[in-house]
Amino acid sequence: MTHNVLVVDDEPKLCDLLASALSQNGIVVFTAGNGLHALKVLEVEDIDLVISDWRMPGMDGPQLLAEIKSRFPQLPVIVMTAYSTVKNAVQSMRNGAFDYIAKPFDIDELDITVSKALQFRDILKDNQRMRAELDEHRQIDSLIGDSPSFRRVLHAIDSVRESNATILLTGESGTGKEMVARAIHNHGNRADKPFVAVNCAAIPEGLLESEMFGHRKGAFTGAVTDRVGRFMQADKGTLFLDEIGEMPLALQAKILRALQERVIEPVGDPRERKVDVRVIAATNKNLLDAVANKEFREDLYYRLNVFPIPLPALRERVEDIAPLARHFAHTLGATAGKRFTGFSAEALQAMAHYSWPGNIRELQNCVERATIVASGAVIEEQDLPAYLFASSPANASTLVTEGNVPADLEAALAEVEKTYILAALAQSNGVQAAAAQLIGISERSFWYRLKKLGIHVDKIVR
């Protein structure tokens, strides 16, 4: 690595001597005859180290050191001083100098001191680069936010991204579980390999085994060709199993075996196939409750829960709503050929006061609608959907007050769930797929809730 060193001294011969000695080590040397000239050089050149004389006319060494520490705090400075002023040089180190060399100096001593200073500079640059990369990770794939709860998620991502550990992402629908999974993959040791996502709730139960493990031609009616399953598609890469809690019990045992033994068996093919995949699973269900209800295998739960990452709901990270909304407005506006500079204070306040049951997905849909109807560069309060201002369903803090604790918790929760679903159906004009997307759940899960709660859509649509 080539380094740039600035030598500052009012004696031209000494500058030439130092330039000659340092250039033999591959160092590019700049020179300045005084402190003011040195500051001008620092403003236009990428300097890694300053070697400055102590006594100079105009701006002397201590004054130059103070200016450098103020303007370029991570730039190391070596002070040159005569033996009679060593005490002053020691004082300059207390004021931020990296080291000092006493005149007349030995070239070998100079080389050692300069080498240490440049190593120190390289370490500082590496730290800056690592911090920049971490900041990039925080922004990648819409992983935007600086709230305490979301910083814990970012820290977990950074801790696990280089490992092959199985990860379980938990949280409400719409909290960005797939985005987190992709961020882990894209910044991990499998980034150049496939990322394969499977929504376990969206595939009919009868086809799920074939989808996961593949099948041989003729294995069942309709199997007219061989099919490679998702495990093999993700070989050497990452397999993302979304809504793992919806997976049928019969298939859970085969998934467990694939995770434990790293082998699969395609439908209709008795031969085992080795696979090397890192599995990231996600669910909006409480899997421990599902285990207790015999709906989910306990052994599979512990196999998946090696490195759990809980994702906070958007209402738990209110301070992140504004930067997320700005990000969506910028990207969605660019797609539509519009340019937005931000949101009005009233619009931001309205979004901050809304509960966002559909979380980030609902916020994105909200901003997308606003970018369509907005006529100016700033998204105003009137550009936001009307439902943000309607009376929202009561939350837990208003439902449960002193003397008003529900005697039947399941019935109370079902009533809240029904309220949200009815509101979503009303807003979507009875379109079930749109209503499911609005509240951040799968269509299959939405249909299940309609049946469970006894909601008949034909009675809702007007």
Could you tell me the CATH number of the domain that includes residue 69? 3.40.50.2300
CATH of the domain at 423: 1.10.10.60
> Last residue of some domain: 312, 335, 365?
312
Q: What is the pLDDT of residue 131?
A: 56
The number of folded domains in the chain is: 4
Same domain for 152 and 291? yes
> pTM (2 decimals)?
0.57
Contact partners, residue 406, CB within 8 Å, separation at least 6: 399, 400, 412
The range of the structural domain enclosing residue 444 comes to 405-462
Please determine, for residue 139, whether its predicted confidence score (pLDDT) is greater than 50. Answer: no
Domain termination residue (choose one: 392, 422, 441): 392
Q: What pLDDT is stored for residue 267 in this prediction?
A: 84
SS3 269: coil
What are the tens digits of pLDDT across the range 220-261? 776 667 788 899 999 999 999 999 999 999 899 999 999 999
Backbone angles phi, psi at 146, to 5 degrees: -135, 20
* In a domain? residue 182: yes
Same domain, 297 and 172: yes
Q: Name the token pair of 350.
A: 């309205």
- 52 lies in a domain? yes
For residue 138, is it within any domain? no
What CA–CA distance (Å, rounded) separates 247 from 249?
A: 6
Q: What is the CATH number of the domain that holds 236?
A: 3.40.50.300
Q: Considering the domain boundaries, does residue 38 fall inside one? A: yes
Give the single-character DSSP code of 200.
T
pLDDT higher at 400 or 419: 419
Percentages helix, strand, coil for the chain (3-state, rounded to 5) are: 50, 15, 35
Q: Are residues 174 and 81 part of one domain?
A: no
Of 107, 130, 153, the domain-final residue:
130
Q: How far apart are the first and last CA of the chain?
A: 72
